[in-house]
Structure 1
Amino acid sequence: MLVIVHGWSDSADSFDFLAGLLRKANPALSVATIRLADYVSMDDEVTYADLRNAMNTAWKSTGLPTAPRSVDVIVHSTGALVVRDWMTAFFQPATNPIKRLVMLAPANFGSPLATTGQSFLGRVVKGFKLNEPFQTGTHILKGLELASPYSWNLALKDRFDPANVWYGPNRVLCTVLVGTIGYSGIRAIANSAGSDGTVRVSTANLNPILIRADFSTDPQNPVYESIAHVGRTAFLRLAGENHGTIAQGGTNPDTLPRILDALATDDATFEDYCDALQAASGTLEVSQDLDKNTQGYQNTVIHLIDNQAQPVTDYLIEAYVPSGDTAPTADDVDDELTKTVQEDVLVDAHVYSDDKSYRALLFNCTRLKGLLTSVGKNLEISVTALPQVKAKSAGYKTFGYDDVGGILLTPAQQNAMFGADRTILIQITIRREQSPDLFVFRAPK
């Protein structure tokens, strides 16, 4: 059995063509063995919880198989979030009915268009319906927004829980396929560096890394914890495809065979299959590294909290290049290289709209390697937060070079910290302090 799940603002009708291609290529996939999911994604009251519950009800009422690893699923765009949410809410890794999961341009860690979709243009073009005009699916777009707590927490459930390994041999054999070019014509207004016109290549990949950096105990000597994802998913960047073409089987003659391969991979060969796709992605990335739109980018999601577990919402992340081999001081910054890094390497920053403690930074790893890593230059990442305790009764000490220590990255550490076509989640904890006169005791008069 094969189930196909569409993305935001789409419908099952869009995937009849792909279903036909798959049936033609594989006679075993008959009309009786394919189901196209349809769900409402553009009503403002609908939440992801609503979708996963409705999907579960529809799955049962349609009589789809529920035995472990009895169904293959293809998802497009937002459909990846819906299916991941559903399977982790209603099943355990050992009871999950999905065997193979093929993600076409998935929005696993969001899309830069999610906030655009909430604008007037998005409401008119995407959301006009006769009975409910100008709706875009507010709650769905909140989860699709870059740096959303929803996508962060979903990753904690299915990518970082060592007690529940969801992906890999004997679990879900998941393949992520994503294009590297944007739209043409009028829709090209949506294009941005490192994207397929809708999702970024880096936010599609489902092999993230989690880092926790604790500056709260000793701000000058933070404690780091690096957590690798559990299990493995396959990932491939595809030349010549954008967010729309990949859902139709692709314009690249290699795309449809790649989809069919993903539907045929098995437990015994999955690790080798992942390695082969990783090598192919690396080769394509090198061949595309002269064009800033197809260079290798990393989606870097920051969540800043204090030692009271409260969100820190007013802060700035900066990247510096020290003149020497140590962390920079006021007089020890390579101004020219720092300017280039802030313009050409750290190319975009997005503040999550409902919780500003979450930020998504887009790093151009190709440019970083050429500017710093390959020539032996260090990189410093610093955080500055408000309110400043010196000016308020409570706040943070981050403004001085001797306050919160930065993260000094050697070239070797840069190679580990920055990887093309992936997401890294970084939780930073800083110390909240109180002025001595905030609370005092005195003797009676």
Structure 2
Amino acid sequence: MKLVMVHGWSVTDTRVYGGLPEALARFAPESLALDIEHIFLGRYISFNDEVRITDVADAFERARQERLQDERFAVVTHSTGAPVIRTWLARYYAALPQGEQGQKALNQCPLSHLIMLAPANHGSALAQLGKSRLGRLKSWFDGVEPGQQILDWLELGSQGQHQLSRYWLSQNPVADGLYPFVISGETIDSNLYDFLNSYTAEPGSDGVVRLAGANLNYRSLELAETPTLDDTGRAELSITADVMAPACGFEVLPRASHSGNKLGIMTSVNGRSPKPKPVVSRILQCLQVGSAGDYSALCQKMADSRPRTGPRFTQLVVRLWDNEGEPIRDFDFLLLAGPDYDPGKLPKGFFQDRQKNQRSGNALTLYLNHDRMLKTAQGCWGFRIIPRPDRGLAHYRQVEFRCAGHLADYLVADQTLMLDVHLTRHLHPHVFSLTGANEQGDFRQLAEV
């Protein structure tokens, strides 16, 4: 078996892989035929402002063709390495089986296993701090500033994440012979805690990536404004599309943080240890999967691997568009709870964090305490959006969505719910009107509505 390893952001030395390559080669069963000379260490530039994540994906394709040609191979990624490889899949294997001539579908991909360690699949809350502040977090970045364009991709709710997530929703990787797995942790290494930035000790995360942001089991809802108005003049929202991502193996590993020689999910592995660490054993089990039945059994084993004792969290990513597909950037978003759908009836302690994407402006990410949200009365939840402008020549109506008794179906622990909300752009009759030829005169007052 050929194995490629792909590191995360702002890495400048292949020693970041620690003893993981050696440990995998040492403890691999003979059936895998995984020797150290069959392991390739990826090196890519993520600390240059001009480099985009799509550039890295294209460069990976060139390197793959040079070293592996069309041989089947597996990949183990860390952190941003997962979006790099998933972007490569989206760029080179995006066609449907009956797609256009010359395009390739996922079932033609030479990648057999994608094992993602602490992946930033839905971004990282740290990214919004900016490259200068991140570079000063010496414990994480050792003074190396991450590249701006990759940082933009990693900011919660980015358009790049949105596009990649939508691609993945249309795929069926296991049926096409690709077996994806996510292994992450939620342990905070006190040696890496930054007292000026609480995100490095955020509950439900490994200090950099949230479990809900790593997990590739997510759901996407599309909602659209309807003509139906309530007594207050708010329009109702209806669900126009509800899609679940393809099932993906997911495991929360005990005593695993994002980085660090002591607890880092990858960097703490000692290649000379007499017995393999849990992460090494699990990776090797993932690599041995060869059928849909094997995959399903291992996914269940991963899900049942450890009882969770602490609070669990869920992530909600809201994006607001008009009916022309243009982003709406100025809006308020209120969660509603209880049979009266009252924002004042949300459970105490439900809220953990919120971020609005600075680049797109129309994406808002909420991080919620899942266990507290389950205490919502009768499982009733919803949300209200107050967009602006709400009056004038071109404006939007307030909208509301209500869902009775299905909170646990939509807000799932350690998962992300994507909401794409489409509002109607309402035009005043004064925007364009016709008048008789004998009624000439100044019409500037028509703009005063």
Q: What range is the shorter-chain TM-score in?
A: 0.7 to 0.9
**1:189-231: CA deviation from partner (whole Å, max 9, x where unpaired):** 4221221001000010112111011115445443213433353
Structure 1 residue 123 displacement after superposition: 5.8
**1:359-392: CA deviation from partner (whole Å, max 9, x where unpaired):** 11112111111x32xx525333111111111xx2
Q: Which amino acid aligns with 1:431?
A: T
Equivalent of 1:114 in 102, 109, 127: 127
The alpha-carbon distance between structure 1 residues 279 and 16, as it changes in their structure 2 partners (threshold 3 A), is closer
Written as runs of structure 1 = structure 2, the 5 A alignment for 1:5-16 is 5-10=6-11, 11-16=13-18
The alpha-carbon distance between structure 1 residues 367 and 250, as it changes in their structure 2 partners (threshold 3 A), is farther
| More deviation, 211-220/251-260 | 251-260
Q: Which amino acid aligns with 2:240?
A: E
Equivalent of 1:427 in 414, 417, 420: 420
Describe the SS at the equivalent of 2:429.
Answer: coil
Describe the SS at the equivalent of 1:300.
Answer: strand
Q: Does residue 248 of structure 1 match 2:248?
A: no
Q: Which amino acid aligns with 1:274?
A: C
The alpha-carbon distance between structure 1 residues 434 and 368, as it changes in their structure 2 partners (threshold 3 A), is same
The alpha-carbon distance between structure 1 residues 377 and 300, as it changes in their structure 2 partners (threshold 3 A), is closer
How many residue pairs match? The answer is 402
Q: Which amino acid aligns with 1:3?
A: V
Q: Does residue 222 of structure 1 match 2:222?
A: no
Describe the SS at the equivalent of 1:4.
Answer: strand
Describe the SS at the equivalent of 2:127.
Answer: coil
Equivalent of 2:402 in 375, 390, 408: 408
**1:86-120: CA deviation from partner (whole Å, max 9, x where unpaired):** 12212321111111111000000100111224244
Asked if the contact 1:394–1:435 (Cα under 8 Å) also holds between the matched residues in 2, the reply is yes
Structure 1 residue 307 displacement after superposition: 1.5
Written as runs of structure 1 = structure 2, the 5 A alignment for 1:24-173 is 24-26=26-28, 28-61=33-66, 63-67=67-71, 70-91=72-93, 92-120=105-133, 122=135, 125=138, 135-157=145-167, 159-161=168-170, 164-165=171-172, 167-173=173-179
Describe the SS at the equivalent of 1:246.
Answer: coil
Structure 1 residue 186 displacement after superposition: 4.6
Q: Which residue of 1 aligns with 2:97?
A: none
Asked if the contact 2:238–2:401 (Cα under 8 Å) also holds between the matched residues in 1, the reply is no
Asked if the contact 1:117–1:123 (Cα under 8 Å) also holds between the matched residues in 2, the reply is no
Q: Which residue of 2 aligns with 1:275?
A: 300
| More deviation, 87-96/39-48 | 87-96
Q: Distance in 2 between matches of 1:246 and 1:359?
A: 29
Q: Which amino acid aligns with 1:279?
A: D
**1:329-385: CA deviation from partner (whole Å, max 9, x where unpaired):** xxxx6x4x33x45xx22321111111111111112111111x32xx52533311111
Q: Which amino acid aligns with 1:272?
A: A
Q: Which residue of 1 aligns with 2:445?
A: none
Written as runs of structure 1 = structure 2, the 5 A alignment for 1:376-395 is 376=378, 378-389=380-391, 392-395=392-395
Written as runs of structure 1 = structure 2, the 5 A alignment for 1:258-297 is 258-267=282-291, 268-280=293-305, 284-285=307-308, 287-288=309-310, 295-297=311-313
Q: Which amino acid aligns with 2:319?
A: H
The alpha-carbon distance between structure 1 residues 230 and 260, as it changes in their structure 2 partners (threshold 3 A), is same
Q: Distance in 2 between matches of 1:114 and 1:33?
A: 34
| More deviation, 76-85/92-101 | 92-101
Q: Which amino acid aligns with 1:262?
A: C
Asked if the contact 1:73–1:98 (Cα under 8 Å) also holds between the matched residues in 2, the reply is yes
Q: Which amino acid aligns with 1:172?
A: L
Share of identical aligned residues, percent? 24
Q: Distance in 2 between matches of 1:353 and 1:178?
A: 27
The alpha-carbon distance between structure 1 residues 262 and 436, as it changes in their structure 2 partners (threshold 3 A), is same
Q: Which amino acid aligns with 1:182?
A: I
Q: Distance in 1 between matches of 2:69 and 2:153?
A: 28
Q: Distance in 2 between matches of 1:121 and 1:415?
A: 35
Structure 1 residue 253 displacement after superposition: 4.5
Q: TM-score, normalised by structure 2?
A: 0.83
Q: Distance in 2 between matches of 1:246 and 1:89?
A: 29
Q: Distance in 1 between matches of 2:55 and 2:134?
A: 26
Q: Which residue of 1 aligns with 2:253?
A: 238
Asked if the contact 1:393–1:434 (Cα under 8 Å) also holds between the matched residues in 2, the reply is yes
Could you list the runs of 4 or more consecutive aligned residues of structure 1 that deviate by over 4 angstroms after TM superposition?
123-129, 249-253
Q: Distance in 2 between matches of 1:378 and 1:25?
A: 50
Q: TM-score, normalised by structure 1?
A: 0.84
Q: Distance in 1 between matches of 2:188 and 2:142?
A: 24
Q: Distance in 2 between matches of 1:317 and 1:55?
A: 40
Q: Distance in 1 between matches of 2:112 and 2:268?
A: 21
Cα RMSD after superposing both structures: 2.4
Q: Does residue 206 of structure 1 match 2:211?
A: no
Asked if the contact 1:351–1:360 (Cα under 8 Å) also holds between the matched residues in 2, the reply is yes
Q: Which residue of 1 aligns with 2:203?
A: 193
Structure 1 residue 314 displacement after superposition: 0.6
Structure 1 residue 76 displacement after superposition: 0.3
Structure 1 residue 150 displacement after superposition: 0.4
| More deviation, 264-273/76-85 | 264-273
